[in-house]
Amino acid sequence: MENEVRKPANFIEEFIEQDLASGRFDHVQTRFPPEPNGYLHIGHCKALCVDFGIAEKFGGKCNLRFDDTNPTKEETAFVEGIQRDIEWLGYKWDKLYFASDFFDRLYEIAKDMIRRGVAYVDDQSPEEMRANRGTLTKPGVNSPYRDRPVAENLDLFERMKNGEFEEGSRVLRAKIDMANPNVLLRDPTMYRINRHTHHRTGDKWCIYPMYDFQHPIQDAIEGISHSLCSLEYEIHRPLYDWFVANANVTDQPPRQIEFARLNIERTVLSKRHLRRLVEEHVVSGWDDPRMPTLVAMRRRGYPAAAIHDFMGRVGVAKADSVVEGNLLDHCVREALADTAPRAMAVINPLKVVLTNWPADKTDTLTIENHPDHPEFGTRQVTFGRELYIEREDFMEEPVKKFFRLAPGREVRLKGAYIVKCEDFVKDESGAIVELRCTVDLDSRSGSEGANRKVKGTLHWVNAADAVPAEFRLYEPILKEDDDNAVTVDEDGNTVEASGDFLDKLNPNSLTVVKGFCEPWIAGHDVGATFQFLRMGYFCKDPDSTDALPVFNRTVPLKDSWAKEAKK
């Protein structure tokens, strides 16, 4: 193994190999730095896979750091949720840090920078600062306070900290270059006044460090070798390097490397947008199964293995792209294929009466729980005169290639008997409410007559003991692709480029239907996953009651009929 030549799997690994070979670093230390202002979404998983995966690959370590420098939206509940999500994915962090643990240290570093003449207190209003920043084509204008003496800066900064000034009245800025072609380097803000109570430090502070100042210095203090982040931070890299160089905290500056964000078709992957969905009650909460958050995916029934598989397939690239939503569905199906027992539920029921089956007769059938896994065992399913089948499994006038039930047609009821549709009953509105069928009593599955072949096999439940159940069916939350382009604001928050995404919501993202399931299924715990024959994979939801189990459709099966019908 020692001599084996390891091929880098992506450009990040290539950079790291170079850094280890050149002696720039002799170890790999990464970090995952979420802001605790929401729950993790599948986009964060990509960063997690990169941060933890790279550390593991190079025998290094990855810290978990909560970037809690903006008290306005941060909460302890998110801190706890994020840790649960990371553990669920199976990652183990090395050290756990909070940026807020370093507020004292950062304050001292800022004062030191003032003393060395590379930071100053600016009294300009936010509007004046904005106006004087210049544009991409026009250089900025120096602040009239840029050259105030060190002692005055130190005094004002201390008074900012002591709460003597209003929010927005003063900031601490780095003295870099107001004419720099990269606007971010035009004397960026290091500290601003914010009087919100912080989720950990309470009211101890009323000044908070800005992302561009805090993040690189925190990386340096933690001894991070490779600071891996998404592509929108690329233009922040000169600033990152400047702060590390000017903070005097390390002689081994960390290296920032950017990779493409994960975007998925018709999926919202901006925490800010996700917050809006929650706050404006478009969804029931962060764990609404339509959300792309890990809490929601877990509730919907996605196994962690599917997410790892997905991330492996998406890979790590330097250029942005949008991944098809189908790919994640595919990974979920693959992960569940061998783990979810098969069962029967009818989500849109149509009653079937077997006219030649005595009303008081019940047959008990033994059905295997998984066709490929005998170790999953079998279960007993009762069969009587009245059953339910799926409404879409009957057509009064069958179209070509429809092999399910129609007048005069025969199908096999899964694991049971062959039945033939003799007649049907309509209500006043013309809707079909009942099928009248005869059953071939010699065709019981497992018996001799069972060898007779019919084209279609349908799932069903026995009306006498079927349990009423609710089924929640999902579609992507957006009806069309959102513009996923993002930039980063001064708080390090990702800001979307254009339009109001609420206009793009898919009105059919949730469909609730009432049907029936086998009694066996109803008795399982919340979180249990099944494949309901032909209907897809479903997971029992926490909203379930004893009277009404609720199932989320995790993912539909690939519907061969839908494909046929399109031909």
- Residues near ligand ATP (CB under 6 A): 33-35, 37, 43-44, 46-47, 229-230, 261-262, 269-272, 492-494
For 250, counting Cβ atoms within 10 Å of its Cβ (0-12 exposed, 13-18 middle, 19+ buried), the class is middle
Closer residue to Mg ion (CB): 230 or 462: 230
Q: How far apart are the first and last CA of the chain?
A: 53
Closer residue to Mg ion (CB): 214 or 494: 494
Q: Catalytic pick from 111, 170, 266, 271? A: 271
Q: How far is the CB of 519 from Mg ion (least distance, A)?
A: 48
Q: How far is the CB of 211 from Mg ion (least distance, A)?
A: 8
DSSP state of 291: S
Q: How many residues in total does the chain contain?
A: 567
Q: Catalytic pick from 31, 111, 175, 261? A: 261
One-letter amino acid of 119? A
Reduced DSSP (H G I as helix, E B as strand, rest coil) percent helix, strand, coil of the chain, to 5: 30, 25, 45
Pairwise CA distance, residues 43 & 51, whole Å: 13
35 is catalytic: yes
Nearest to 432 by CA among 390, 478, 462: 390
Q: Which residue has the tokens 């810290």?
A: 63
Give the containing element (helix H, strand E) for 540: strand 536-540
DSSP state of 546: S
Closer residue to Mg ion (CB): 69 or 552: 69
Give the largest CA-CA distance in the chain: 101
Is there a contact between 213 and 70 (Cβ–Cβ < 8 Å)? no
| Residue 272 interface partner, choices Mg ion, ligand ATP, none, CB cut-off 5-8 Å depending on type | ligand ATP
Residue 173 forms beta bridges with which residues?
Answer: 120, 189
Closer residue to ligand ATP (CB): 266 or 333: 266
Closer residue to Mg ion (CB): 227 or 462: 227
Binding mask 446-485 for Mg ion (x = CB under 5 A): ----------------------------------------
Nearest to 277 by CA among 38, 480, 44, 5: 38
Q: How far is the CB of 273 from Mg ion (least distance, A)?
A: 13
Binding mask 484-503 for Mg ion (x = CB under 5 A): ----------x---------
Closer residue to ligand ATP (CB): 34 or 209: 34
| Residue 297 interface partner, choices Mg ion, ligand ATP, none, CB cut-off 5-8 Å depending on type | none
Q: Catalytic pick from 13, 31, 35, 200? A: 35
Q: How far is the CB of 180 from Mg ion (least distance, A)?
A: 23
Q: How far is the CB of 281 from ligand ATP (least distance, A)?
A: 20
DSSP string covering 300-315 = HT--HHHHHHHHHHH-
Nearest to 243 by CA among 161, 295, 176, 194: 176
Closer residue to Mg ion (CB): 431 or 495: 495
| Residue 44 interface partner, choices ligand ATP, Mg ion, none, CB cut-off 5-8 Å depending on type | ligand ATP
For β-strands 378-383 and 29-32, DSSP reports them as unpaired
Q: How far is the CB of 496 from Mg ion (least distance, A)?
A: 12
CB contact set of 221 (below 8 Å; sequence gap of 6+): 102, 105, 249, 250
Which pair of tokens denotes residue 432?
């079909």
Q: How far is the CB of 520 from ligand ATP (least distance, A)?
A: 40
Alpha carbon distances (Å) from 83 to 75, 278, 365: 13, 20, 46
Closer residue to ligand ATP (CB): 34 or 303: 34
One-letter amino acid of 422? E
Residue 10 forms beta bridges with which residues?
Answer: none
Q: How far is the CB of 502 from ligand ATP (least distance, A)?
A: 17
Q: How far is the CB of 260 from ligand ATP (least distance, A)?
A: 8
Is there a contact between 33 and 67 (Cβ–Cβ < 8 Å)? yes
Closer residue to ligand ATP (CB): 142 or 493: 493
Which pair of tokens denotes residue 513?
């239907």
Residue 517 forms beta bridges with which residues?
Answer: 345, 467
Is there a contact between 332 and 368 (Cβ–Cβ < 8 Å)? no
Pairwise CA distance, residues 78 & 16, whole Å: 32
Q: Coil, helix or strand for 38?
A: coil
Q: Which residues are catalytic?
A: 35, 261, 271
Residues that bind Mg ion (CB under 5 A): 494
